[in-house]
Structure 1
Amino acid sequence: MDLIVRPLNRTLAVSPGANLLQLLREHNVPISYSCTAGRCGTCRCKVTRGHLLESGPEAQTFRVKEGQFALACMSVLTESCEIEVPEPDEIVIHPARVLKATVVAVEDMTHDIKRIVLRPARPLSFSPGQYAQLQFTPAHIRPYSMAGLASDEELEFHVRLVPGGRVSSYISSKVAVGHPVRVSGPLGTAYLREKHIGPMLCVAGGTGLAPILSIIRGAIRAGLVNPIYLYFGVRSPLDVYGENWLQDLAREYPNLSVQVIPASDATGLARRTGLVTDAIASDWGDGLKDFRAYLCGSPPMVEAASLLLEQRGIPPEHIYADAFYSSGT
């Protein structure tokens, strides 16, 4: 049977039962991957014809139909099919690692956001915009996005304290300088595409600013000159943080435009308010087709922004998003 790989237009002769990721690697087909265990999502591809069998992290096998996305590392070929691998020129490979790290700083950024800085025992390789799993104790594990770069000596994370949240409450009451942390990663597909030369739209909600900061810092480090438009949405002016970082980045990167938008503002200051999606809809018509978009925040915000940007002309494959879910916070 055959496997057709688009957009490379390659046809591979395969045997039933072959693992898709292993097969692609054996035939030197460029594809991103990291954990090889169905957790990071990096090796996602689209089935454009035929079917695959996919077993997720909980080993629940099901058939992926035409038009659905599948994780190559968890997929088995049972018949001839056709897949589409994303952006062959933007492949990233950071083999997943588990590192020991130590907390070196804990800072209050707002009334409910803390900045946690870790010093890992060994460097963690990742692309700007990715995240890692932090384990403070066997019972307190949670994914958080890096705000810095892999070249930094330290790892920076922003944590929102959720009332009653198991992990964030532990961080608030127990985590201090010297606390050991186990770091697993990298994870995520919303990483900076360095070969894209067009404009970039970045949308952050709350602590979703962390990976967006990483992406902007990565663009500067890579010497990019793309116009970057950042919309940073928060609940109120009390929830705004990192404006000094954004101002410094704008001075260093003249092509960066920053808008900080509280949903409401009772202070009377002359600041734009409302939803970030409404602001984007007001600022942009249907001329976004050459953009790449990076979204990070709550699932409702990410879903609404994704839908809007598709309507404004950005193809779904050029919208990169890792939503923040509240489970286990």
Structure 2
Amino acid sequence: MEVLVQPLGKRLDVAGGENLLTALQKHDIPISYSCMAGRCGTCRCRVIEGAIHEAGGDEFHNAEHATQRHVLACQSIVTGNCAIEIPEPDEVVVHPARIVKATVTALTDLTHDIRMIRLAPSKPLSFSPGQYAMLQFTPDHIRPYSMARLASDGELEFHVRMLPDGRVTRYIGDTLKIGDTVRVSGPLGTSYLRTRNDAPILCIAGGTGLAPVLSIVRGAIAADLPNPIHLYFGVRAPRDAYGLDWLRELSQRHPRLRVDIVSTLPDDDAGLRTGLVTEAVAADFSDLQGWRAYLCGAPPMVDAATLLLRSKGVQPGHIYADAFHATGT
């Protein structure tokens, strides 16, 4: 059987029933991977045509149009001739998926309903800026949260929106304390910083979606990237805006970083832009061809921003998003 790999234009001879990721690795095709179990989404690729059967991983396909078929290479087998497209072969990242124990070192309220958790892992956890991890506080209290800092910082930082009816966030608010042990699994996610290009960067964050965007901007500065960066931070009301000192400090370190904070509800005293964050982007740009975009926030915001950016000329493969669903369970 033959697998055509785009954009490389390579044709691979593959045995029927062979695992797709194994076949790609055997032929030295560069592709990112991590957990090898269909949880992290890192090895996602697009099926252009042909016969590939996937065992699982549907949660990583929702951000794409229904007309496109994506699979996780680690969970897929080749059942006939096919053509696939792998993402950016020059931006391969391989972080071994790990489960590490970590100790809570800080619990700080950032706003009226956002709490910062800092953890000191017992062993280093390698990840790319923008990725997330699964935090297990107890066997019954498990949720995914994005890293807000860099792997080189040593400690892990997460920003959690405290939902009034959230079972996990109630545990964090009422029970979790400094010195407790948390189980961290990761890294997960495909919305990580791409460093091997000089394209301008657009970041759109909603609420605690600011956490991975902070990691991405910090990563760009740490890598001394010259890319211009425009960061939009959307909040419901001015009191929901946080991390303003961090954003000012990052702007001072990276002169080509511009930050816009957009509040859905107006407040004359706050001095913020008013409206939807997507409206602000639409007003500021008529053409975004050549840009790369990182999105994180509620799924409706991510979906609306994705449609907007595509209409402005951003290539679909250059829009990176990990949408998170709030849950009260």
Task: State whether TM-score is above 0.5.
Answer: yes
Q: Unaligned 5+ residue runs, structure 1?
A: 59-64
Residues 47 and 262 of structure 1: CA distance in aligned 2, closer, same or farther (over 3 Å): same
Measure, in 1, the Cα distance between the counterparts of 2:134 and 2:270.
39
Aligned partner letter, 1:189: T
Measure, in 1, the Cα distance between the counterparts of 2:327 and 2:213.
22
* 1:58-77 alignment, distance < 5 Å: 67-77=68-78
Contact 1:41 1:71 (8 Å CA) reproduced: yes
Contact 2:289 2:315 (8 Å CA) reproduced: yes
Superposed displacement of residue 153, structure 1: 1.2
SS at match of 1:201: strand
Which residue does the alignment assign to 1:42?
42
Aligned partner letter, 1:265: P
Which residue does the alignment assign to 1:312?
312
Q: Does 1:127 align with 2:136?
A: no
Aligned partner letter, 1:156: E
Contact 2:165 2:328 (8 Å CA) reproduced: no
Superposed displacement of residue 266, structure 1: 3.3
Deviations 1:206-235 (A, max 9, x none): 000000000000000101010000000000
Which residue does the alignment assign to 1:289?
289
Measure, in 2, the Cα distance between the counterparts of 1:67 and 1:304.
18
Deviations 1:269-302 (A, max 9, x none): 43211100000000000x2111000000000000
Contact 1:50 1:66 (8 Å CA) reproduced: no
Residues 57 and 309 of structure 1: CA distance in aligned 2, closer, same or farther (over 3 Å): closer
Contact 1:51 1:66 (8 Å CA) reproduced: no
Please give the TM-score of this superposition, normalised by the length of structure 1.
0.96
Deviations 1:229-281 (A, max 9, x none): 00000000110100000000000100000011111123444321110000000
Contact 2:5 2:85 (8 Å CA) reproduced: yes
Measure, in 1, the Cα distance between the counterparts of 2:112 and 2:91.
39
Residues 88 and 129 of structure 1: CA distance in aligned 2, closer, same or farther (over 3 Å): same
Superposed displacement of residue 66, structure 1: 8.6
Measure, in 1, the Cα distance between the counterparts of 2:268 and 2:174.
31
Q: Does 1:303 align with 2:285?
A: no
Deviations 1:56-113 (A, max 9, x none): 159xxxxxx9941111011011001010101000000001000000000000000000
Please give the TM-score of this superposition, normalised by the length of structure 2.
0.96
Q: Does 1:22 align with 2:58?
A: no
More displaced 10-residue stretch of structure 1: 259-268 or 162-171:
259-268
Superposed displacement of residue 327, structure 1: 3.1
SS at match of 1:23: helix
Where has structure 1 moved over 4 Å in runs of 4 or more? none
Superposed displacement of residue 163, structure 1: 1.4
Residues 66 and 231 of structure 1: CA distance in aligned 2, closer, same or farther (over 3 Å): closer
Aligned partner letter, 1:9: G
Aligned partner letter, 1:209: L
Contact 1:49 1:67 (8 Å CA) reproduced: no
SS at match of 1:301: helix
More displaced 10-residue stretch of structure 1: 135-144 or 170-179:
170-179
Q: Does 1:163 align with 2:188?
A: no
Contact 2:163 2:328 (8 Å CA) reproduced: no
Which residue does the alignment assign to 1:327?
327
